[in-house]
Amino acid sequence: MNNQNFALIAQRKLEEKRARALEKMQNEIAKAHRKAEERKASAEAKRGTKVARVLEIANLMRAVGRAPTKRSFF
C-alpha cells in the first residue's frame, strides 16, 4: 500500500514538472514570435521611409527636369 502511494506521488510530481516545462517552452516560443513581429514591423517601416524618399526625389526630378546634383539617393 505504501509503495502505491509513493508511486502515485512520484507520478503526480513528474506530471507537474512536465506541465511546467511545457508552459515554459510555450512562453519562449511566444516571446520569439513577438520579437519576430517587432522586427518585421520595423523593417516594413524602414522600407516605407526609403520608398517615400525615393518618390520625393522622383517628384523633384520631374519638377526640375533633371537629376539632383547630389547623387546619393539612399
Going from N- to C-terminal start, the domains of the chain cover 1-69
Separation between Cα atoms, residue 6 and residue 43, nearest integer Å:
56
> What whole-number distance in Å separates Cα of residue 26 and Cα of residue 32?
10
pLDDT in tens, the chain (74 residues): 577 888 899 999 999 999 999 999 999 999 999 999 999 999 999 999 999 988 888 888 888 877 666 665 55
pTM over 0.85, yes/no: no
Determine the pLDDT at residue 72: 57
